[in-house]
Amino acid sequence: MADHRSVPEPTLRRLPCYIHVLKKVEQLGRQSVSTSDISRELKLDPTQVRKDLSYTGIVGKPRVGYPLKDLIEAIEHFLGWDECTHACLVGVGHLGKALLGYNRFGEYGVRIVAAFDVDEAVVGARISDHIVYHIDALPEIAQRFNIEMGILTTPASAARGASQNMVEAGIKAIWNFAPTALELGADIIVENAQLYATLAVLSRQMRGRVQAQPKPSPLRITPGAEQMGPEP
């Protein structure tokens, strides 16, 4: 199973897709799934799914598959999504408001406990049940609420400064939605939401298709679907 430092990143990116599929299957009332089921849904190779799942430590039964409930739990535990991480959001613009309004981060182990901005027009406001504080209050509030993660949704021009503020407030992990490189110490974990990466692939395919299909198609892998539904 699953030594921490040997999990391929592509695997990590696919795991959320599996969770989404599995939850859908769960709603159909089924008790188990096979990798064939999953791979059919996501158009992946079954053995790849099997290998990915093996990292979580789950064990399946030949001819049957995996116990559905256990499998979901195994993946969520593997990703740490069964535990709650306190997060703050910095940058209450359009995207920030959207994320504040998205009230299902709990499923992903994240709970936004505070929001920050510098704009007096939003500071003090209540956005989808979250109070917006001035960025100057970050250190105190981060400590008070034990905030471990920062969600960075400022414009690019403010991103570096805001990330600096986060680090000074003791935050160790940043989910960066700004299209900007952050310059931070090596002990800070930064992950880029990379919105435009997928647009680039799409754009490129639109003109002149990237990978032509005239081939024993190496099962084109667009690391499947996952992400958030914007709320009903």
Of a second copy, DNA, none, which one does residue 168 interact with (CB within 5 to 8 Å by kind)? none
Closest by CA to 152, choosing from 163, 142, 161, is 163
Which CB atom, from 22 or from 114, has the smaller least distance to a second copy? 22
Q: Minimum CB separation from DNA for residue 177, in Å?
A: 22
Q: Which stretch binds a second copy (CB under 8 A): 35-43, 45-53, 64-72, 139-147?
A: 35-43
Among 32, 93, 111, 139, binds a second copy (CB under 8 A): 93
* List of residues contacting DNA (CB under 7 A): 8-11, 34-37, 44-48, 50-51, 53-54, 58-66, 211, 213-214, 216, 218-219, 221
Among 114, 138, 149, 169, binds a second copy (CB under 8 A): 149
Q: Minimum CB separation from DNA for residue 29, in Å?
A: 16
Residue 177 near residue 153 (C-beta atoms within 8 A): yes
- Does 63 bind a second copy (CB under 8 A)? Our answer is no
Q: Minimum CB separation from a second copy for residue 159, in Å?
A: 7
Which CB atom, from 61 or from 205, has the smaller least distance to a second copy? 205
- Does 60 bind a second copy (CB under 8 A)? Our answer is no
